[in-house]
Amino acid sequence: MSEFSSSQVVELKHSLAQHHLALLRDKATRPSQFRYHAGVLATLLAAEVTSNLPLRKVSVQTPLEVMECQELDARIAAVPILRAGLGMVTPLTDMIPDLEVWHLGLYRDEETAQPVHYYDKLPATHPPDVAIVLDPMLATGGSASLAIAALKRWKVARIFMLSIIAAPEGIRRVLAEHSDIRIYTAAIDRQLNDRKYILPGLGDAGDRIFNTLPH
């Protein structure tokens, strides 16, 4: 049983998620296939996080009659944490054509394991109604927490975190600093190692997505 309540953390329980996670974790999976499996998992997670977005009533003329339907009634933004978060954007833009995409540049200093904020183009006004932070790996939680803080300064009312896999340490940090945030993940892994990598994990998601592993 998870130590985290379902109101705080949603761990995706889906047969397809388990299937694609297994292939994503496999070190023999090539970058092109890694991107594909990451995209499927991002799609499944996006379906969960968007299941209760605001709707408005509209009248639609079908081929036979007019009927009352519902459409999205919110400005929705995806906020990928560069660079690995870029690998999760396309599934959301496919599902939400009017999605706004705002980028935050954060990386982990390998010496200190602390996040470094190097790029931010968030405007000062007119925040979206909903923002979804994207990062395949929620490890220490440092980058995620900084990203969420930036969105709060922008006055975004509803913020969600989407990660393919998450470490308990990272979840605890994000929730300790942002108790109003809900995290969606395909798997909560065991722990971080002494280098702050997730175990059992899947390696470096950015390197595997963009095919920049050392040779």
User: Where residue 113 falls among pLDDT bands split at 50, 70, 90?
Assistant: low
Mean pLDDT of 104-129: 77
Catalytic member of 112, 153, 180, 190: 112
Residue-level pLDDT at 110: 66
- Asked which of 21-25, 65-69, 193-197, 198-202 is least confident by mean pLDDT, the reply is 193-197
CA distance 33 to 52: 31
In this predicted structure, the answer to whether residue 1 has a pLDDT above a threshold of 60 is: no
- Joined tokens for residue 151: 């969105």
For residue 192, the tally of other CB atoms under 10 A from its CB is: 18
In this predicted structure, the answer to whether residue 115 has a pLDDT above a threshold of 90 is: no
Catalytic member of 25, 83, 120, 207: 207
Annotated catalytic residue 204:
yes
Q: Domains, the chain, ranges and CATH?
A: 9-210 (3.40.50.2020)
Residue 68: strand pairing partners: 59
Annotated catalytic residue 112:
yes
Mean pLDDT of 145-166: 94
Catalytic member of 25, 83, 108, 158: 108
CA distance 78 to 124: 17
pLDDT, the chain, mean: 91
- Joined tokens for residue 206: 């950015």
Contact between 96 and 42 (Cβ < 8 Å): no
Annotated catalytic residue 129:
no
